[in-house]
Amino acid sequence: MTELGVDLDAHLPQAGHTFTYERVERQLRRDTFVSDSASAGSHPIPFVCESLKYKHDVENNMHEYYSQAEQHARLKSFCRQLYDAVAPAEGHCKRLDDCFSQIVVCNFQTHGRHEKITEDACDILGRLPEIPLELPDQLLFYSPDDSVDVASRTLSPRAVGWRDLSVVTYVANNVIRTALMAAIFQTKTTGTMLDEFIDTTANLLSTSSEFCQSTASSEEKHSWFLVRAFLWTSWQRCSMMYFYTIVGSHLKSGFNDHDGNSLILKSCLVAPGVSIQEMSRRFASSGKSEYMCGWAFELLRSHPSAIGLDFRRFHHRFSDAFGARAGRCIQSQQTSCKGDDLEKCQRFKGMKITDQSAHGENCSRHCKRLFWNETSYRSVAGARAVELVDDPSHGELTYCEATGDTLAVSHVWSHGQGGRPELGHGFNHCLHRRYIAIAQSLGCSSYWMDSPCIPEDHQLRQEAIAKINEVFEMSRATVIYDRDLTEINVEDEDLSVRVRELILVTAMICDWNLRAWTFLEAFRGRRNIYMLCKDNRTVSLRDTVEVVFHKGSIDIALLLLTIPHLLPSRDRKDFRYINNAHESGFMTVETAGSHLSHRAASRPGDDVVIWSLLTRDKIAKTPKTSVLRRLLYQDKVYKESKAFWKRQRDRSLNTSFLLSSAPRLKTRGLRWAPSSPMAELWQNPLNGMTSRLLALDGIESEAGLITKDGHLARWLTYDLIGNVIGARTVSTWLGVELNPVDDRCQVNLRRIRQRHLRGYIWGIILQPLHFRGYMDPAPNRSHEKTLVAVCATNFRCRLPCNEDERVFWKWRGVYEWDNIEPLPHLQLTSDVLLV
């Protein structure tokens, strides 16, 4: 994965071998739907992928589905056609392209906008990286034109690099079609029209890698490498444009948690034995600055929409500003952490804060500390905000009720922006003056900040926390303070695209983005966020996002999907038309839990409080602004996870969400439920290494129902005897029918018995079912290994059982299956009740 010879600032140029305006226009006219008398009034789907999974019987209008073996055979047959297109050398890119184009049928409806669509498509293509990421097994030599002789398939000895391969620089017709889709739909999601095609490309890439692995001939390996390079570069370019369209839909309509399915693309083998997750893990950090926190980058890299993504320009932008600095994760060594666990990073744990109250840039550092006027604070009935009064003679902060003209300040506590308002803590006068000046510049009449507005007193603290959503949701503006952001020079009023890209990159990776409280604050206040940069200058996040999306590098713009708490929300006036809390900008329990699984909170129990503030039962319909405000901000704050989960009764919960190392409750009926969203350290039974199995939202898995007895769902299951003397005898005596013993996976089954089933007669292995309801398991893109849940019971009747004889399965933990052995034969089981 070398970067030699690659200009990290270069975008895909218009040229004869890449794309031209004329070529894009020809493709658009060729694929434009022309209505005739037979099709009058009908509008075919604009982009259809013949996914090789089924064939379409036009006469009966029925889909004929193939088995997995038949699907794989069709993929192999098509890959053979691509292989045959590689030789002879002359014209091999065109033949590959013609073959690959067959899997897509387009019927664009342009409404006479050909010129504008063509221009927009060229603009999108022109903002992709010039040279896609290399394959991890790049060969050492190629023929001069990267193809082979048709007769002998022998190779020329001339060595060339990745960027010299014509299959790498060539832009396939399907890539141009994807750009046209992005230009036509722009701020509308392209949904399954594109993801089916991208997943099919991934299947072809995996199958080609299998062919490459099975051959011993160097000539055949070379030919298969060229096929894979063609598919890999096409997959990269199309997946980037696909995620780019999703960002556009969020920018137009506001973030909607229900769009999570669109972030799930199929995993694949990019090289023999190398998954896309493994490739990302190995090479995504190439070029990373030592100053960049390893844990922060690892969380960004492992996000479902970032697996396999090109991070070269991302690292280049960050290094422009911070590349010369030493790391500060491990202060004694001035290095960054490795990214394997937040416990090993002093940005989150073990950092010694010598002075909680920092000073402003131009302060002499001898200014006095301000404390609260407690009488003023207690006299305010609603959410308190600090008045914009600078009266050093009294040395006190006075308060007023937070309103729609309040400035909300979100900051990292460890960066020293003031202590609690009581005596003994305080808030430096220069900071008070800073936020007065910022508030006034943004047209605000007061400011809210947790340091001066949340006292230590338990009752007052609970009151303030319950109104955090209210403060940030209705505030005129939210200002983000982070030490790294304040180092970015934005002196020029007309900021360049490059500087705006740097602001976004820094925001994605800075300390502020990794904390639980700041995540909540930004998510509720993201309607109008400003970044505080050098010399107390503020930069509108919305303007920055819009500029980068429309003019910047697409490989950076699509990373906005990893920070949904910074994507703009719907306008508040639109809430009255919404009856679903998630459509109004709140999160599902699973999505909120997945984001909090790696974000530390400042106090024990705060993580559950934040979890409850991120979710919402429902939005009440009302057209009255005063009533709307009162109903919107009635937040129920839960400090205990038991009460939080009881609130979820009779609601659905995605099964894959449970596959994490989060601690569990010890209450019957809720032993499956995380007692905290924060994932604990988990020890791998194979090598003894520890890590955190972070929760995913599980939206690709089938959902279960939370009942008064436990979590009820369908799973793919395998029954096995537990680890207690006489278990098999008891099972036989009771007539309990178990799955036949699978001798292919005895090592894994033995480890499960030893680790999870001690003292239990029966055990069960659970794998989440795909949300489409087939027998396929749900995918887990961000984890290389297969994760299964293990449950156990000592009380069981014969199978099948009546409802009143249902088995109560006790949660025992998550197991990482060693893929050296295959999984046992799993069967679909309904009504699995976890207690």
Query: Which tens digit of pLDDT belongs to each residue from 650-690?
Result: 999 999 999 999 999 999 999 999 999 998 887 776 666 77
Helix axes 497-509, 541-551, angle to 10 degrees: 120
Burial 300-309 (b: 16+ CB within 10 A, else e): bbbbbbbbbb
Indicate the pLDDT class of residue 359, thresholds 50, 70 and 90. confident
Query: In degrees rounded to 5, what are phi and psi of residue 793?
Result: -155, 155
Summary mean pLDDT of the chain = 84
- Label each residue of 331-381 as H, E or C: CCCCECCCCCCHHHCCCCCCCCCCCCECCCCCCCCCCCEEEECHHHHHCCC
Q: Tell me which of 147-151, 315-319, 700-704 is least confident.
A: 147-151
622/183 Cα distance (integer angstroms) = 37
Whole-number Å distance between alpha carbons of 292 and 297? 7
- Condensed to tens digits (0 to 9), the pLDDT of residues 740-754 reads 888 899 999 999 999
Q: How confident is the model at residue 351, as a pLDDT?
A: 53
421 plus 509 within the same structural domain: yes
Instruction: Tally DSSP H helices, then E strands, for the chain.
Output: 26, 25
Give the distance from CA 360 to its chain's centroid. Answer: 35
Is residue 230 located within the same domain as residue 255? yes
Q: What pLDDT is attached to residue 587?
A: 83
pTM, to two decimals: 0.87
With respect to residue 617, please indicate whether it lies within any of the assigned structural domains.
Answer: no
> 293 with 408, same domain?
no
C-alpha span between 221 and 457 (Å, rounded) = 70
Residue 647 lies in a domain: no
Asked whether residue 766 is domain-assigned, the answer is yes
Range from 127-141, 155-169, 774-788 that averages highest in pLDDT: 127-141
- Amino acid letter at 480? I
- Indicate if the pLDDT at residue 151 is higher than 50: no
pLDDT tens across 84-125, in order?
999 887 889 999 999 999 999 999 988 878 999 999 999 999
According to DSSP, the residues that pair with 706 across neighbouring strands are 711
- Residue where a domain stops, chosen among 507, 534, 569: 569
Looking at 569, 589, 617, the residue that finishes a domain is 569
Distance, in Å, from the CA atom of 143 to the CA atom of 223, rounded to the nearest integer, reads: 11
Q: Are residues 282 and 376 in the same domain?
A: no
Q: Is residue 215 located within the same domain as residue 327?
A: no
Find the range with the poorest average confidence among 45-49, 75-79, 310-314: 45-49
Q: How many domains, the chain?
A: 4
Is 474 domain-assigned? yes
Q: Which residues are registered as beta bridge partners of 815?
A: 788
Residues 255 and 305 in one domain: no
Residues 478 and 550 in one domain: yes
487 DSSP 8-state letter: G
The answer as to whether 629 is a domain residue is no
pLDDT of residue 152: 40
Q: How confident is the model at residue 584 (pLDDT cuts 50, 70, 90)?
A: low
Per the DSSP assignment, residues forming a β-bridge with 809 are 834
Coil, strand or helix: which one is 132?
Answer: coil
Q: Is residue 265 part of a domain?
A: no
- Tell me, yes or no, whether 340 and 373 share the same domain: no
SS3 614: helix
Give the Cα separation of 263 and 174 in Å (integer).
20
Same domain, 726 and 770: yes
12-16, 132-136, 250-254: segment of lowest average pLDDT: 250-254
Residue 632: band (very low, low, confident or very high) from pLDDT cuts 50, 70, 90: very low
Strand residues in 42-123 grouped as ranges (E) = 47-49, 54-57, 62-65, 104-106
Verify that 441 and 563 share a domain, yes or no: yes
On whether residue 635 sits in a domain, the answer given is no
Q: In terms of residue numbers, what domain contains 310?
A: 277-344
Domain assignment present for residue 14? The answer is no
Looking at the fold, whether 218 and 188 belong to one and the same domain comes out as yes
Which of 569, 591, 615 is at the close of a domain? 569
State how far the Cα of 810 lies from the Cα of 709, in Å rounded to an integer.
12
Q: Say whether both 813 and 750 belong to one domain.
A: yes
With the C-alpha atoms ordered 666, 671, 677, 679, is the resulting torsion angle positive or negative?
positive
Give the pLDDT score at 622: 41
User: What are the strands, taking DSSP E only, across 553-706?
Assistant: 652-654, 681-683, 690-692, 703-706
